[in-house]
Structure 1
């Protein structure tokens, strides 16, 4: 994994601890094991989160279908809510539900800034502290 991705994962883990959630980076995420592991696991006794972290200085991020399949599998077994946590350069964190991801022609996934900010949740929303209100 690139240093940027690791840095974003550590930042998210700190944010989760500061929000009274136990959180950790999965040390074997990113393909070092045959088992599906998300980048970050967190919980507080009421909510459990499994987050695949992606960051970019570009306006779109591509994600292999194996990553999404693994996140789904882990989350189902663990009882966690799965999210793709995205951090675009100089933007706030956004968390996208798997069903909101765009599927590419190659059956992989894509997140762009518009999707992240139109359909994605903010940090407080994934913790159940805030509800997003959208006006049509």
Structure 2
């Protein structure tokens, strides 16, 4: 069941990124990363997680693999978490706190929206 939910979340994120003008490659199975996305200007290396829980623990070595791959590839490492019944949240690995063995992400962890991640977040500057 977890594999299907994870694969479904990956496919959903592929469609979202494609709708924003990105070409996306999905790496099925357990590899270093789940998605590679690019639009000719920006490249993202994405690890996708989906959870029904209010918190998620990621092994430190998984995050290190993502950061290492992104560095070699020339992309930006991104953790994309779909909290079921809440929605998508995006995190830069360098902003996460970790313990001895894992990173913890919960609903209180500061995050970016997809538009914020892509630098398309609208602001009210100049409107008010």
User: 2:21 aligns to what SS in structure 1?
Assistant: coil
Q: TM-score, normalised by structure 2?
A: 0.88
* Contact 1:38-1:71 at 8 Å conserved across structures: yes
Q: Which residue of 1 aligns with 2:15?
A: 14
Structure 2: gaps (5+ residues): none
Moved over 3 A (4+): none
Deviations 1:49-98 (A, max 9, x none): 01111111111101111211110111001111111101101112111111
Q: 1:122 aligns with which of 106, 113, 118?
A: 113
Displacement after TM superposition at 1:132 (Å)? 7.2
Deviations 1:18-64 (A, max 9, x none): 11100121134x24xxxxx2111101011110111111111110111
* Contact 1:125-1:132 at 8 Å conserved across structures: no
Q: Which residue of 1 aligns with 2:72?
A: 77
User: Which range moves more in the overlay, 1-10 or 41-50?
Assistant: 1-10
Backbone CA RMSD of aligned residues: 1.7
Distance in 1, Cα, partners of 2:64 & 2:122: 27
Distance in 2, Cα, partners of 1:128 & 1:45: 15
Q: TM-score, normalised by structure 1?
A: 0.83
1:21-100 aligned within 5 A: 21-28=22-29, 30-31=30-31, 37-100=32-95
What is the total number of aligned residue pairs between the two structures? 123
Structure 1: gaps (5+ residues): 32-36
